[in-house]
Amino acid sequence: MSLPTSISGFTVVPVSYSSSSTHYIYVRSHAGSKKAAQNDLPEGRTLFMVNVPPDSTDRELAQLFKRCGTVEKVIFDLDTVEPHHEDSDSDEEMEDTPDPTTAEPGADEQPRKRRKVAKDDTPKVVPLPFKSLRTLRLSGRSAHLVFLDRSSLERALSSATKPRPWPSIPEEPVGLAHYTALYDSLRPPLDAVREHADSSILVYEHELQKTKQKSKYRKGEAIVDEDGFTLVTRGGAYGQTLGGGVGVASKRFQRSGETSKRSRGNKKEEKEKTNFYAFQKAEKQRSELMNLKKRWEEDKAKVEALKASRKFRPY
């Protein structure tokens, strides 16, 4: 049973992926609305296609209809077309153009001073290796194909007797090869990841240093908000951050009430002096003598206990 050449005003274009699989695309001439003039989709040269393969690209569609004529561009239904604002552009050009009558006299006579262009020392982020892959869309989508002349559109709308072979592009894999390439691109080598991470850290540190230099607050100056309250912050050598603020108590002082021993303002603890007065020396000698007598009595008791534990052994 053969398929009809046209269905509801659409021309059937069979496309063969292989000897056993055939895909059908339905095409017709594009008819735009009369109210909105669309310069991107001109009537008489635009081919409207339905049931476009989900993995098709503009290059493949252009090669598919290459035998009909030269293809100017391909626009998918999800692509956003930026409108052309010719009037606004012309107005901006008129505003930017200086008026020669309002120019100051003698302006051309003054030599222009060359400005010194500062070297940009901003580090750049090394991008990760990326492989361009085709975009997978939903099935049953539509697209617009614009030819250079009207005759090409007429040849494209002519009914095809045999299925057209789908063009294959080796640079853009399809099927399982597409997902294999996508898997490899999402897992770059570790050397590339390390280089990307190091460059990102350098850029972050550079931006952080620039923000510190542009800060209007200095170290030791209090930050006062709009309501007149002083911002209390922590950090720095003296309890003050780089961006300003007042000092606050340390965490150790909040827990125990003791100050740090390493702080500069703390004085060394005064130690009690010994053997300075005569009564201190006498008390020390007396305590040493009492301890000596006590140890002598303990040793004497141990000797008597050893003597009592001895037994007569003639042999």
Q: Which domains are seen in the chain, by residue range? A: 6-80+129-182 (3.30.70.330), 217-262 (no CATH)
Of 39-48, 116-125, 246-255, 263-272, the range with the highest mean pLDDT is 39-48
The pLDDT tens digits of the residues spanning 200-251 come to 999 999 998 888 777 655 555 666 777 878 766 665 544 444 444 445 555 6
Q: Please tell me the pTM assigned to this model.
A: 0.49
Q: What is the pLDDT of residue 205?
A: 92
List the one residue out of 46, 57, 285, 73 whose CA is nearest residue 156. Answer: 46
Inter-residue contact 140 to 77 (CB < 8 Å): no
Q: Which helix (H) or strand (E) holds 284?
A: helix 278-308
Q: What is the pLDDT of residue 104?
A: 52
> pLDDT > 90: what percent of the chain?
13
Inter-residue contact 62 to 74 (CB < 8 Å): yes
Q: Could you tell me whether strands 71-76 and 141-147 are parallel, antiparallel, or unpaired per DSSP bridges? A: antiparallel
* Cα–Cα distance for residue pair 14/161, rounded to 1 Å: 9
Q: What is the dihedral of CA 61, 63, 66, 70, to 10 degrees?
A: 80
* Cα–Cα distance for residue pair 38/43, rounded to 1 Å: 9
Q: What are phi and psi of 70, to 5 degrees?
A: -80, 130
Inter-residue contact 185 to 131 (CB < 8 Å): yes
* Average model confidence (pLDDT) across the chain: 76
Q: Terminal CA-to-CA distance of the chain, rounded, Å?
A: 133
Q: Could you tell me whether strands 223-224 and 164-165 are parallel, antiparallel, or unpaired per DSSP bridges? A: unpaired
* Cα–Cα distance for residue pair 46/63, rounded to 1 Å: 16
Q: What is the pLDDT of residue 20?
A: 83
For the chain, count helices (H), then strands (E): 7, 9
* Cα–Cα distance for residue pair 273/281, rounded to 1 Å: 12
- Please, which pLDDT band fits residue 5 given cuts at 50, 70 and 90? confident
More confident residue, 19 or 180: 180
* Cα–Cα distance for residue pair 27/195, rounded to 1 Å: 49
More confident residue, 94 or 147: 147
